[in-house]
Every structure is written in structure tokens, then in C-alpha cells.
């Protein structure tokens, strides 16, 4: 399951659509065929056809999804839906037979899953991107204090954690940084790190 919402703004982020925890309309102008259907359907007046180009005023958009419903080229899509835990479980359990036969489980990813504490999980693959607060802040928009605190909280609750280091060339791929992250893992009695 892919969760939407993340407090970090990593410079290498591959999923910027997960930054906001809210449902959002996305527009890909490259695949728009300028059929005009979205202009007519949008009651907010957020979409205009000007000089042969479709333009969207996101400050007017209320993310209702009506334009995405009529867009034949998929240039408009709604990203994100609100799900209750019961509804999530309902979806997950449709594949119960596969979990049973393979002995595997469900991966919760994102975004930042720990923002959604109600979704209990057995194993956390916990990203540590850097050990230096200043460098972490410069490259992700946030310091390391909360990340370290949350790691401690998980371990205090005896949750299973594997540290995951997304190796970014020139940012955290030097031996000293990796060693320091390894020491943090040991300090929290975590025996496994992934790269
Ligand atoms: S409905 Fe889709 S394809 Fe048609 S103008 Fe709007 S964005 Fe472009
Ligand atoms: S999502 Fe709704 S408000 Fe936003 S542009 Fe599309 S039709 Fe208009």
C-alpha cells in the first residue's frame, strides 16, 4: 500500500505526488490532446484553453476529480483517496490466498507510513538518510532529531526494525557516514541494515 503524505522534501524524491497527504488532481500537459472536455466540466473555472494550450489554475481547483473522469487521454488524474482502516483491510484481504500460499505479507510504503500510526505493522524498513543534522536538513528539508526519536520509540515498543540507507552519490555514500549509521543501528539494537 502506498501512503500519501511526507514531512521530508528529499532532493532526490521520485514520488513528489506523495508530499501532500491530501487528494490532488495532477495534469500532464504532454499527453493532453486539447479536446476541451475538462474546460467545460470544471465548475470552478480552474481550466482554460488559451492560445491553443490548456492551462490549470491550481489555486481554484478543489480536487473534485470531474475533469479526470472526462479526460480520455489520462492527462488528468486524481492522486490519492481517503481510506478507513476497515476499507484498507477489505482491499488487502482480497489477496489473502496469495499471502497464505507465499508466506509473505503486505508492504506499506509511501510517502511516510509512520505518519499513519493507526496502521500497525510487524516490520519497519526505516530510512536513515544521514547522521549529520545540518546535511540532512539541507537535502531533505528536516533535521534528524524527530527521525532518531521515532526510531527510539519503535525500539522501545519492541518493534522489529531494519535500517534502510538510500545511497545517494555525494550525499551519504562515503564510508564514514555509512559507519556512523551502522553505529546508530547498533545503539538501537538493530542488527540489519539495507542499502
Ligand atoms: S480533457 Fe484531458 S485531453 Fe481533453 S483538454 Fe482536458 S486535459 Fe486535455
Ligand atoms: S479537479 Fe475539479 S476543480 Fe480541479 S480542475 Fe478538475 S474539475 Fe476543476
- Residue 5 has a pLDDT of 93
Q: Is 67 in the pocket of ligand 2 (CB under 6 A)?
A: yes
Contact 158, 168 (CB under 8 A): no
Ligand nearest to the CA of 39: 1
For the chain, give every domain's residue range. 2-14+83-194, 24-79
- Residue 123 has a pLDDT of 86
In angstroms, what is the span from residue 107 Cα to ligand 2's centroid?
32
As given in the structure block, the three cell numbers for residue 181 are: 549509521
- For atom 8 of ligand 2, the residue with the nearest CA is 42
CA distance 170 to 187: 26
| Each residue's pLDDT expressed in tens, for the chain with a length of 195 residues | 889 999 999 999 999 899 999 999 999 999 999 999 999 999 999 999 999 999 999 999 999 999 999 999 999 999 999 988 899 889 999 999 998 899 888 888 888 888 887 776 778 999 999 999 999 999 999 999 999 999 999 999 899 999 999 999 999 999 999 999 999 999 999 989 998
- Residue 111 has a pLDDT of 87
> Is it true that 2-14+83-194 and 24-79 share their CATH fold?
no
- Residue 110 has a pLDDT of 83
Q: Is 113 in the pocket of ligand 2 (CB under 6 A)?
A: no
In angstroms, what is the span from residue 31 Cα to ligand 1's centroid?
8
Q: Which residues neighbour 149 within 8 Å (Cβ) at sequence distance 6 or greater?
A: none
- Residue 128 has a pLDDT of 96
As given in the structure block, the three cell numbers for residue 63 are: 480536487
Quick one: 2-14+83-194 is in which CATH superfamily?
Answer: Aldolase class I (3.20.20.70)
In angstroms, what is the span from residue 126 Cα to ligand 2's centroid?
36
CATH for 24-79 (3.20.20.150, 3.40.50.150, 3.40.250.10, 3.30.70.20):
3.30.70.20
- Residue 120 has a pLDDT of 64
In angstroms, what is the span from residue 59 Cα to ligand 1's centroid?
19
Q: Which numbered atom of ligand 1 lies nearest the CA of 54? A: 5
Amino acid at each position: 500500500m502506498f501512503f500519501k503524505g511526507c514531512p521530508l522534501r528529499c532532493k532526490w524524491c521520485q514520488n513528489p505526488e506523495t508530499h501532500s497527504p491530501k487528494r490532488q488532481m495532477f495534469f500532464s500537459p504532454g499527453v493532453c490532446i486539447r479536446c476541451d472536455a475538462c474546460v467545460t466540466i470544471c465548475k470552478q473555472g480552474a481550466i482554460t484553453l488559451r492560445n491553443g494550450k490548456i492551462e490549470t489554475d491550481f489555486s481554484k481547483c478543489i480536487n473534485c476529480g470531474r475533469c479526470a473522469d472526462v479526460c480520455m487521454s489520462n492527462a488528468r488524474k486524481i492522486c490519492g483517496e481517503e481510506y478507513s482502516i476497515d476499507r484498507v483491510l477489505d482491499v488487502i484481504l482480497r489477496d489473502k490466498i496469495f499471502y497464505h500460499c507465499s508466506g509473505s505479507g503486505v508492504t506499506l510504503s509511501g510517502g511516510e507510513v509512520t505518519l499513519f500510526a493507526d496502521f500497525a505493522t510487524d516490520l519497519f524498513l526505516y530510512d536513515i538518510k544521514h547522521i549529520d543534522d545540518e546535511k540532512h536538513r539541507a537535502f531533505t528539508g528536516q533535521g534528524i532529531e524527530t527521525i532518531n526519536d521515532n526510531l527510539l520509540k519503535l525500539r522501545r515498543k519492541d518493534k522489529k526494525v531494519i535500517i534502510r540507507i538510500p545511497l545517494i552519490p555525494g550525499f551519504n555514500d562515503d564510508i564514514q557516514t555509512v559507519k556512523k549509521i551502522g553505529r546508530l543501528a547498533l545503539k538501537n539494537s538493530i542488527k540489519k541494515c539495507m542499502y
